[in-house]
Chain A
């Protein structure tokens, strides 16, 4: 499979990249790790005569503390997330999830920003960051705005990013004390069939806060408010997890495809929810690393 002809542009600033995207319109696209883009172009599904290489812009690959949050540049690779000391220390679940993405070669060059902007439904980071309530910075030559994950990922392969906007930052609020997270994925193909992220907070032995996100079974990752309500102010025990998981299996909106039937995906989401909650609760209690 041969790619069509294109030029590669090397902007030195976000403004320059934004201007290039505006100038060339639909003939241009952002190029970072290329792990999704080049595949689509090789398969002849899309073609862009102008690739705007944002890796030539300095400082988009930084990880830094930002008050009670961790700020992650869009060009940080999954490999870097897995191995970076700050992430391992302050957001260890993110390091864990990053290590599970695709294969080591994709992790070596694939970026967090690229994964989120491509909005493929079968996404580990999107599922996790939705439960984490991460926020995203979008920048263009005209200004900057901040969006929550569920304001950004709108549909399969569709985000709220305007054509001339660049995703310039991902902010993860640090989990408060007595919190814990768990993440489960089920995959028989290269991409996961179901992904569940659970983050719980514990107060006086009860669950004070619960966030559950389910991804990969439907078009976008979704939070599970019914399941979260079941857990809130209850003991974090097996009965609670199973009740929450039953609510998840009812609430998800799976797509029937080669990854599984609707019923199959409902059940897998249910099972993964129990496991993710169990791990999250153990970590919140300080019983498990």
Chain B
């Protein structure tokens, strides 16, 4: 029985590693990462791009992997939560989340950390209001957000200090 569905080659970098794959054009980035590559840190939650649990960074920009075709990552770089770990060491942002107890069930955390990473990489001093606006698309049902904001502010501050230091 022949399979008539179109296929396409996909070359991309995921967490710094070159990946070659063959996918269907309709393959979602979230499924490619979770089922194709076993990177289950990004979560399927709302599945309609509003909750942020599936956030990954595509060339440094936060995207909803549940509503992004894997095709869009061709010849580009994807960063998932697994890529935040460097040689077994947590990224300072992850340390900040732990230090401030910004994690309870952990389901939103991957997306929350990656969204914050994109904010950090912009390296501008942001007020709490501006942080809240930036992260307003990442929903958390457990923490009430306070500890998350404390963690983000503390990480931003450390980032500013080491940048000027």
Contacts and interface: CB of A to CB of B under 8 A. Distances in A.
Contact of A7 (B25, B62, B134): B25
Interface string B120-141: 0000000000000111111000
A: interface residue count bin:
20 to 34
Contacts of A7: 6, 25
Interface in B55-73: 55, 61-64, 67-69, 71-72
A38 B25 CA distance: 12
A190 B52 CA distance: 13
Contacts of A225: none
A6 interface: yes
B63 A105 contact: yes
A105 B137 contact: yes
A1 interface: yes
A5 B63 contact: no
Contacts of A1: 47
Contacts of B115: 104-105
Contacts of A106: 49, 64, 137
A260 interface: no
Interface in A17-71: 34-35, 38-39, 42, 51
A4 interface: yes
Contact of A42 (B47, B55, B63, B133): B47
A190 B47 contact: no
Contacts of A132: none
B: interface residue count bin:
20 to 34
Given A7-B25, A102-B137, A103-B50, A42 B62 contact: no
B26 A105 contact: no
Main secondary structure of the interface of B (DSSP, over half): mixed
Nearest to B31: A2
A35 B64 CA distance: 9
A141 interface: no
A9 B136 CA distance: 34
A4 B137 contact: no
A109 interface: yes
Nearest to B130: A99
Contact of B63 (A8, A102, A109): A109
Contact of B52 (A4, A6, A105): A105
A110 B68 CA distance: 11
B113 to A, nearest CB: 14
A40 to B, nearest CB: 11
Contacts of B52: 103, 105
B161 to A, nearest CB: 25
B26 A108 contact: no
A38 B137 contact: no
B61, B134, B138: most-surrounded residue (chain A CB, <10 A) = B61
B25 A35 contact: no
Contacts of A243: none
Contacts of B25: 6-8, 51
Contacts of B136: 103-104
A3 interface: yes
Given A4-B26, A39-B49, 6 more contacts: A2-B26, A3-B26, A8-B25, A8-B71, A106-B64, A108-B61
Interface of B: 5-6, 8, 24-26, 28, 47-50, 52, 55, 61-64, 67-69, 71-72, 115, 118, 133-138
